[in-house]
Structures are given as structure tokens and as C-alpha cells.
Amino acid sequence: MKVSEAVYSRQSIRAFTDQEVPDSLIQELLEKSSRAASGGNLQPWKIFIINNSTMSKFLKFQEEWTDPETPAYDIYPENLTEPYKTSRYEVGAQMYSILEIGREDKEGRFKQMLENFKFFGAPSAFFCFVDRQMGRPQWSDLGMFLQTFMLLALEAGLDTCPQEAWAIKQESVTSFVKAPDELMLFCGMAIGYRDKNAKINELRTERRPFKDWATFVD
Ligand SMILES: Cc1cc2nc3c(=O)[nH]c(=O)nc-3n(C[C@H](O)[C@H](O)[C@H](O)COP(=O)(O)O)c2cc1C
């Protein structure tokens, strides 16, 4: 698979088959992903893998955890301005339209949002943490690592969905994976084989045109 093909065909997948992913494959993909660039070669990613029997244990634990949780961070700026606000709105509208969940159907939308906390049915996942001493430059390194992983996963026939929704469940996640206090949760990553019959996986998101976000300086 060419890099450009992988970049173009990667999409967030939100329904998976039950087909298991061996630990060895996840390890191989993560090790390859660690070739991602990072400022000062700090490699600031800290990864906790949830696979096979651990997945059922985790989902059960998650379901039974009733303590209120403090979010790890604000997922979006409070007063998101344009054009970001519209992009965010459009992806949601597109998704709910594919699923035929109406604008007024708050319960339907909420139910779909909760699918995040089942990893959308993926059999495998990981959580990406970062040391609290790290700042914005190192957080961007996490993004490079995660994108590298998603592309390599695609090459191996797997699909993924990065999930910052887990930020609102950071206390239960931290407790389950036994992450030390100095680490904070950035996001989850659902991993598995896409369910080709699931409508939600038909979602192909838009991108704003080049001229809106790039400038050749003269
Ligand atoms: C860091 C990060 C966190 C994300 N968190 C979520 C999430 O919690 N739930 C979700 O359904 N999608 C999540 N997404 C997926 C985005 O909605 C998706 O990348 C965007 O709409 C573009 O679509 P595409 O990935 O299919 O190209 C996340 C993406 C990134 C990069």
C-alpha cells in the first residue's frame, strides 16, 4: 500500500466485527509507530493496551463504575469560532443523517455517543497517556504517533477510531490500567476489522479547501 493510498483511505471506523486482533500484531504496529518523529526524540507516548479477555473485563468494569468523573481536559475550546464550529457541526449532522437519527432525537444521539465507551464494538484498543510535565509540543508528538499507527493499521488490514471522548472517563480508565499519577490520559484508540455492513462506516468526512488554511507567502 502506498502512503498516499493509506492517507486517503483512512477514516474513523465506528462499527467493527468480532474478529480478534492478536497481541503480537498490536505490538508490532505500535513498535513500528514509534518511528514517528518527536521533538528532541522524547517519544512522549505512554500506551496501555486493552485486548482479548482484558477487553471484556474493562467493559464490565466501565459499565459498573458509577463515580462521577472530572474530565482530563476540555475537548474543545468553550466558544469555538468559525470555521471550526461549522466543521464540528457538519460531521455530527452527517453522522446522524446516515444513522437516520433526527435533530430532535436527543436520546438517540446520546445513545450513539455512548457507543464511544464500548469502543464502538472493537475487540481491541489502547489508551494513549502523556506525562503531565509535557507541554503542547509533546502533545503534538502524540498526534504524529497516533496517525502513524492508524496508517500502519490500515496497511495490516485493520481499522481504527481515535477517541478523545475517553477524556471524560479518565478516572475510571486510569484506575483500570493502573497508570501512575504522573500520567494523564489523552485519548483512546479503537482497533479492529470494520463491519462492512454498518451504515455508520459510510461516513466520509469533508475537508475545507487548501486556500482556506494555507498561504503561499509572497
Ligand atoms: C485526537 C482525536 C480524537 C477523536 N475523538 C473522537 C471521539 O471521541 N469519538 C469519535 O467518534 N470520533 C473521534 N475522532 C474522529 C474524528 O471525528 C474524525 O477524525 C474526523 O471527523 C475526520 O473524519 P475521519 O477520521 O473519518 O477522516 C477523533 C479524532 C482525533 C484525531
Model pLDDT for residues 161-198, shown as the tens digit of each residue: 999 999 999 999 999 999 999 999 999 999 999 999 99
Q: Within 13 A of 139's CA, how many CA atoms are on the CB side? A: 11
Q: How far is the CA of 162 from the centre of ligand 1 (A)?
A: 6
Q: Amino acid letter at 86?
A: T
For domain 3-203, give the CATH superfamily: NADH Oxidase (3.40.109.10)
Give the position, in ligand 1's atom list, of the atom nearest the Cα of 11: 26
Give domain limits for the chain.
3-203
Model pLDDT for residues 114-136, shown as the tens digit of each residue: 999 999 999 999 999 999 999 99
Q: What is the mean pLDDT of residues 155-166?
A: 98
Residue 157 CA: distances (Å) to CA of 33, 122, 151, 153, 204: 16, 14, 10, 6, 18
- 198: Cα separation from own chain's centroid: 19
Q: How far is the CA of 13 from the centre of ligand 1 (A)?
A: 9
Q: Amino acid letter at 48?
A: F
Ligand 1 within 6 A of CB of 125: no
Phi and psi for 61 in degrees, rounded to 5?
Answer: -60, -45
Ligand 1 within 6 A of CB of 94: no
Ligand 1 within 6 A of CB of 187: yes
